[in-house]
Structure 1
């Protein structure tokens, strides 16, 4: 891909050499500062994907809308749940899952797919990770149009205090000013998407089986995560104190989805979701920084 002259490129090549914490930190700082570059590249990815399409990126929105509507009506009948409250729950779950899935699958392939640019463009490695996260953010923003439509249609149901996600489930507080918590929740999600892309992207350049392993595991993770089924159903089947609840609680993706989904649908907030997300963010960035310090100099050779 050719980068237009409108993008400012450093005059001196960035040397990816040596195991140094200072160089790793500089790579991350310079990558964040080059927002015009990764912003342009991420937007070009979206335009390239839907080039010569009549409605362009709106296909992202239409695809999400059809999937959410179809599965929402199907699973609401299977579980005996009111579609008025279940469809917003499932729609937001799908939107957040799409962002997480993109960071996992495309993030693990970030440096491999940018082989040509890494070898010829004098830019920090962090640029390619941020390019991936920005691309997923643009797709999420397109999908949020579906959320707006669902919100307009079912606002009365999910704004009512005490509404339930499943028969006999816990009453939810309903939409309120807490919807603003979705902003820091997405920031936390994006921060984690960045370290996931850096860490798995570096590992995948050395071990090319990693992207295939991640693709295979995401199928299992999807069904093990409360996206198309509410946690209330599991509680009713097993009882509140059953150890099998650990299947959900030990799934980190559940906590990431819940911190963003809960405020958007007026669901009950829980502090422990934020604690888990915070701990994973710190640990993840520590591992990503260690990978950058030790192996960033080898990425250009491994790709």
Structure 2
């Protein structure tokens, strides 16, 4: 045993496993393993529809039938013009589908990939990117529904429709941090996954997807207190920045700022979780 001149043994070397630098390094290294998570995400889609005649097209069919049926039903109930209301509902379903799969699939990404995590020497962020990539593939299949509907019910789309691309960029950034935070915490506390499933279903009905926030306005044109309550729901703002441009609507700047603020808070939480619990995931699965 090595000792100092006064007989006191030297302090053991400090570990840097619980530092922000190691967490950020995991994120960077995981992103660099793009061939791995791109392959794993695409394999997940192929395995899900293995021996199916239509394959991934079932994603489009299931979403399209549900969105169109709900759009027609609620359009009649709320006496909305189907020409404008149906694209509104369909886009709501498409973007909500990306949010929902990112949260729910992300919450179980580590617990359902125990073998890969223990046997594959790769950053854990690889599995987060895998979930987001898989959600993007599903999203791309569902966009076909909107394109078909656009041919049937043309919308006054201008150059502002290009704003959907930065909106999707924010969606991806949020999907990554949500997968990391919920995935790691759900691996340690398995009840979180069940709680998220219940909460996502509840938020779906609280978010203007199958109903329009404009119907909550007062008869004299002023914004009602109910509409103000809707704006307390962050998901409302996430949908507005992506759905509005594709409907030819101008999106107020405050929707963007709220989403950007939520993204910053989410990434702060993700870095904190990565710093403290990243190294423990392999022991928790």
Q: TM-score, normalised by structure 1?
A: 0.87
Following superposition, the deviation at residue 246 of structure 1 comes to 3.1
The match for 1:287 among 258, 269, 281 is: 269
Following superposition, the deviation at residue 247 of structure 1 comes to 2.1
User: In the alignment, which residue of structure 1 is the partner of 2:143?
Assistant: 144
User: In the alignment, which residue of structure 2 is the partner of 1:5?
Assistant: none
Following superposition, the deviation at residue 110 of structure 1 comes to 1.1
Q: Measured at CA, do residues 237 and 229 of structure 1 come closer, stay the same or move farther in structure 2, by a change above 3 Å?
A: farther
User: In the alignment, which residue of structure 2 is the partner of 1:223?
Assistant: 205
User: In the alignment, which residue of structure 2 is the partner of 1:120?
Assistant: 119
User: In the alignment, which residue of structure 2 is the partner of 1:209?
Assistant: 191
SS in 2 for 1:140: helix
The reply on whether 1:257 has 2:236 as its aligned counterpart is no
Aligned equivalents of 2:25 and 2:220: distance in 1?
A: 50
The match for 1:235 among 201, 213, 217 is: 217
Following superposition, the deviation at residue 104 of structure 1 comes to 1.1
SS in 2 for 1:112: coil
Aligned equivalents of 2:16 and 2:284: distance in 1?
A: 13
SS in 2 for 1:301: helix
User: Larger radius of gyration, structure 1 or 2?
Assistant: 2
Contact 1:180/1:263, CA 8 A, preserved across alignment: yes
User: In the alignment, which residue of structure 2 is the partner of 1:48?
Assistant: 47
Contact 1:17/1:297, CA 8 A, preserved across alignment: no
1:58-77 residue CA offsets vs partner (Å, 9 max, x unmatched):
00011111111111111111
Aligned equivalents of 2:235 and 2:172: distance in 1?
A: 13
Runs of 4+ in 1 over 4 A off after TM superposition: none
Following superposition, the deviation at residue 239 of structure 1 comes to 6.5
SS in 1 for 2:218: helix
Q: Measured at CA, do residues 268 and 236 of structure 1 come closer, stay the same or move farther in structure 2, by a change above 3 Å?
A: farther
Alignment of structure 1 residues 48-197 onto 2, 5 Å:
48-155=47-154, 158-159=155-156, 175-197=157-179
Contact 2:216/2:224, CA 8 A, preserved across alignment: no
How many residue pairs match? The answer is 271
Contact 2:213/2:227, CA 8 A, preserved across alignment: no
Aligned equivalents of 2:225 and 2:57: distance in 1?
A: 44
Q: Please, which runs of 5 or more residues in structure 1 have no aligned partner?
A: 1-15, 160-174
Aligned equivalents of 1:103 and 1:252: distance in 2?
A: 16
SS in 2 for 1:110: coil
